[in-house]
Every structure is written in structure tokens, then in C-alpha cells.
């Protein structure tokens, strides 16, 4: 059951191909300002490296937000177009959930570890999600949300985060000085910003196996209104 994962929510875009819990191929681009110019080429590349055709895919997963508004729209439009043309289901996965699973997997975090994922939101703010590791598998650490995803000032991003948490993501990297200054006791700061496409595809593969993909509506979750509707500070 090959599944394709697409992430264009942040500056690190990625595409991954997985099957039966194993990553077959993946590509990512650091700091690409135009995901739209690279994403289809990346899809073709991972399929070629995985020795599969688009018609072999059984599902597609895409980051549904939060994240950069234009990036989310590019990813959604591309994923929907591919899924529609192939007649296969599409999964919209929280960017913060995918980040939390990627961070936990990278760090081999034990079950019960608190994961605090931070994404860049601009204007000195970050999107924050708190998760806890509930199980560990060979290629994936599974997490569950602890509360709602939120938009916060970077200087207050770690308020209420549990001791011993693992903290990371593009938001943590962008505001590392503030984050490091406010780490909870015994917390760990991840210096690596992981690509999210593998986590997306692994989550979607499990959903597909459980029959949870068909008939699901996929829409972006901006957490806040898009830029053209948010009044600028004067």
C-alpha cells in the first residue's frame, strides 16, 4: 500500500514515499521560496527512486496546517489534484502532529515523553502543539495531542510545558534564543528540523489500513485568519 506524503507548510518542503511502514524514498528542499516550482518534480523523483508509478499509490497525505498560508494552499492543491486524478483517498494531517512524531522518532523518545512542536508564524509568534508519545514502532513514534494547537508569542511559547519535554521545529529554530532561555527543567532542545513528509505518509498509511480515509473532507487549518484578513499593527 504505497502512500505519498507532501509537506509545503514551512520553509523545509518535503515529499516521501512509504510502504508497509518503511520509507522507500524521500526528498526535501531547504529554504525554497517557491514550493510550487519544485513539488511536482519532487513527486516524480521519489516515485522513480522508489521504482513505482503514480498509479501504484493507494493514498496521499498532506500537511493541513498550521503553516505558511501560500505553502499550505500549494500543497493542498497539488495533493488534491493527484488524488482526484488517481481516484485515491487524501488525508489532511496536522503539521504540528507530523512534527511531533518526527521529533519523537528522531530522538527515540520514550513512551510518556512530552513533545512541544513549534512552527514559525511570523511577527514574533509561533504555532504551538503539545503532544505525548503513546507508543513506539520501528519507523514511527505515535503521539496524542495534549490540548489545542495555538498561536503564541515566541517569548511565551513554553509557558505551561512539562518538565523533561522535547522541544523543536522551525519555530524553535527561528527563536532559539528565547526558547533556550525558557526551557522547562530537564527539557531537551532539538537542533535538527526534521522533514515532515515521512511522518505524514506513515500516519496516513495507518489510517488507510483502519479504513479511516474514505469520505474524509480535507481543508486547511490556519489556526488564525489568512494574512490579507488580519489587520496589520501600526
What is the reported pLDDT for 217?
Answer: 78
Helix, strand, coil: what percent of the chain each, to 5?
A: 35, 30, 35
Q: Which residues pair with 132 in a beta bridge?
A: 114, 144
State the DSSP code for 49.
Answer: H
- Residue 139 pLDDT: 83
At residue 225, the pLDDT reads 53
For 150, 166, 169, the CA distances from 191, given in Å and listed in that order, are 22, 11, 8
Alpha-carbon span 53 to 24, nearest angstrom: 13
Mean pLDDT (whole number) for 127-146: 95
Q: Tens digits of per-residue pLDDT, 20-74?
A: 999 999 998 755 545 667 899 999 999 999 999 999 999 999 999 999 999 999 9
CA distance 16 to 6: 7
What SS3 class is residue 195? coil
- pLDDT at residue 138, rounded to an integer: 79
What's the distance, CA 174 to chain centroid?
A: 17
Which tops the pLDDT comparison, 12 or 5? 5
Q: Beta 188-189 vs 150-153: how paired, if at all?
A: unpaired
Domains and CATH numbers, the chain: 3-94+195-229 (3.30.420.40), 96-189 (3.30.420)
Tell which residue, 41, 43, 44, has the closest CA to residue 61.
43
C-alpha cell at 225: 485568519
Report the 10 Å Cβ neighbour count for 21.
15
pLDDT, one tens digit per residue, over 173-205 is 999 999 999 999 999 999 999 999 999 999 999
pLDDT surpasses 50 at 231: no
Residue, of 210 and 226, whose pLDDT is higher: 210
Q: Which residues are CB-neighbours of 179 under 8 A, at least 6 positions away? A: 118, 154, 157, 158, 167, 172, 189
Q: Please tell me whether residue 48 adopts helix, strand or coil conformation.
A: helix
Predicted local distance difference test score (pLDDT) of residue 167: 98
Q: Coil, strand, or helix at residue 228? A: helix
Determine the angle formed by the axes of helices 35-49 and 69-86, rounding to 10 degrees.
40
Q: How confident is the model at residue 144 (pLDDT cuts 50, 70, 90)?
A: very high
b/e burial code for range 83-116 (CB count within 10 A of at least 16 → b): beebebbbbbbbbbbbbbbbbbbebebeeebbbb
Q: Which residues contact 234 (CB under 8 A, 6 or more apart)?
A: none
Q: How would residue 226 be classed by pLDDT, with cut points 50, 70 and 90?
A: very low
Residue 230 has pLDDT above 50, yes or no: no
Beta bridge partners of residue 229, listed in sequence order? none
Spatial separation of the C-alpha atoms in residues 105 and 140, rounded to whole Å: 6
- The pLDDT-based confidence of 143 (bands split at 50, 70, 90) is very high
- Of residues 130 and 225, which shows the higher confidence score? 130
Tell me, yes or no, if the pTM score tops 0.75.
yes
How crowded is the C-beta side of 84, counted as CA atoms within 13 Å?
Answer: 7
- Predicted pLDDT at 36: 67
Q: Mean pLDDT over residues 205-211, rounded?
A: 93
Amino acid at each position: 500500500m504505497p502512500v505519498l506524503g507532501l509537506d509545503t507548510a514551512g520553509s523545509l518542503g518535503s515529499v516521501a514515499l512509504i510502504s508497509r511502514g518503511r520509507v522507500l524514498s524521500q526528498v526535501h528542499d531547504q529554504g525554497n521560496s517557491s514550493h510550487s516550482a519544485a513539488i511536482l518534480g519532487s513527486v516524480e523523483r521519489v516515485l522513480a527512486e522508489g521504482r513505482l508509478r503514480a498509479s501504484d499509490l493507494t493514498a496521499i497525505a498532506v500537511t493541513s496546517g498550521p503553516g505558511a498560508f501560500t505553502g499550505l494552499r500549494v500543497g493542498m492543491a497539488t495533493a488534491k489534484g493527484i488524488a482526484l486524478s488517481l481516484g485515491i483517498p487524501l488525508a489532511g494531517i496536522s503539521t504540528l502532529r507530523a512534527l511531533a512524531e518526527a521529533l519523537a522518532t528522531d530522538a527515540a523518545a520514550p513512551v510518556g515523553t512530552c513533545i512541544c512542536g513549534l512552527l514559525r508564524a511570523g511577527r514574533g509568534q509561533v504555532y504551538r502543539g503539545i503532544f505525548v508519545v503513546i507508543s513506539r514502532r520501528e519507523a514511527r513514534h505515535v503521539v496524542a495531542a495534549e490540548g489545542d494547537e495555538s498561536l503564541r508569542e515566541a517569548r511565551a511559547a513554553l509557558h505551561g510545558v512539562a518538565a523533561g519535554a522535547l522541544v523543536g521545529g522551525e519555530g524553535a529554530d527561528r527563536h532559539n534564543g528565547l526558547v533556550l532561555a525558557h526551557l522547562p527543567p530537564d527539557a531537551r532542545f532539538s537542533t535538527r528540523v526534521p522533514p515532515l513528509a515521512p511522518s505524514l505518509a506513515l500516519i496516513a498509511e495507518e489510517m488507510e489500513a483502519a479504513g479511516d480515509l474514505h469520505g474524509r473532507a480535507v481543508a486547511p487549518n490556519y489556526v488564525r485568519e489568512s494574512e490579507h484578513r488580519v489587520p496589520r499593527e501600526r
